[in-house]
Structure 1
Amino acid sequence: MRGIYHNVQGEGEGASIFSRLASTFTFMEPKACIGYAYNGHTAMVARVNGEIAAVIGWNPSSYMAAQVKTMLANVMGQKNRFTCEGTWYNDETMIHDPTAISLEVDVSSRQAQDFGAAIRQLTGSGGLGGASAEYTFLPAEMESNDHPFVGQCTEMAVVVLCAWLHEFRDLPRCAELKNALFVMANSQSMTERNLLQGKMMQFINQWNRSH
């Protein structure tokens, strides 16, 4: 999913890397746009009565620190084999990226508001359910006794989404989506778990075509 141009059907054909950087740039986190444009990113979206109410995602707490660790790991021949502090961010700039795609299911207005409020409350926290977690690009390799709670953006989003989809299981497609997401994100293949961002984009395209 990298390169100067993205030409994958349904993902903003021909959108240049420069327009993608500009669309996700903020003065609060100027380096974040580089990660969004180069690596891709997964976040949770709440839409209430057709309007975006929240876009929340799991990121490194410090993009600069993550970049330093990335460079050190590369020098040591351990590409991306590190963990760093993670934080839930307001990722609303993502929706302006021309390559952004989403998978959405219908719930009631009240349920959408509750979901939006719940994920907004994650903003600034460093984990889930009171447990601290760490950010890593390689969750399948870095999850260990030393770092039991680790994840990248896609994996952490799936954990939260599946919990809410279980609450909405009586609504059309919610149980189906929960089961499909769980299977997709819990592959026995280390490579697939480590490259979950790309797999998620494929999953979204496939789901949208079939539903």
Structure 2
Amino acid sequence: MCSGKVCSHHKNEQRNSVLRCCACLLFFIFLILLTVLLIWAILKPKKPRFTLEDATIFTLNVSAPNVISTSVQVTINSRNPNSRIGIYYDKMYVYATYSNQQITFFTVIPPVYQGHKDVNVWSPFVYGSDVPIAPYNGIALSLVQSSGAPIEMTIKIDGRLKWKVGSLTTGRYHIHVNCPVSIKLGNSNSTGIIVGHGVKYQISQRCSVSV
């Protein structure tokens, strides 16, 4: 047995030891976070740059006011502008929208690593057969097609990425890419080139990127 003073002394020593361990752990975590932040500030990571190079239209039919069928192949150029930071792309999903409404299914771009200053080029098909849409969008698209005015669509990419600095890899970040497309489909002034059963349009349009 121990006296009250001795027991109290032991308890104080144990409490002080725990406090010292916690303080050391917090200081160690602080140093790690500070190091990461300093490295991040020095390297100044830049968002990847995406460009929609071209689009080949195979199908774009409004079979009813609320039903559309679409088949498009797009060529997308992705560039890593960083000289010291690599990018891991997780699965990314490509699809097309018209008047803010999705008109194709998702097409998956497999995971890929993009090195320093590297460029990746993807040519996915985005398509949808008898996709239901809002009736007013179907009517509007039919009117645009019949008038020969440019059709305004957007090719979108949603996914996740990770930054790689040396042997350090960050957590996942969401990436959203919007590529506007303006095509004079069926217009006499169209610059499209017939490719097989489709018409290819050169676009070379920079996309907006949000990370």
More strand by share: 2
More helix by share: 1
TM-score, reference length from structure 1: 0.25
Structure possessing the higher relative contact order (Cα contacts under 8 Å, 6 or more residues apart): 2
Larger-gyration structure (1/2)? 2
TM-score, length basis structure 2? 0.25
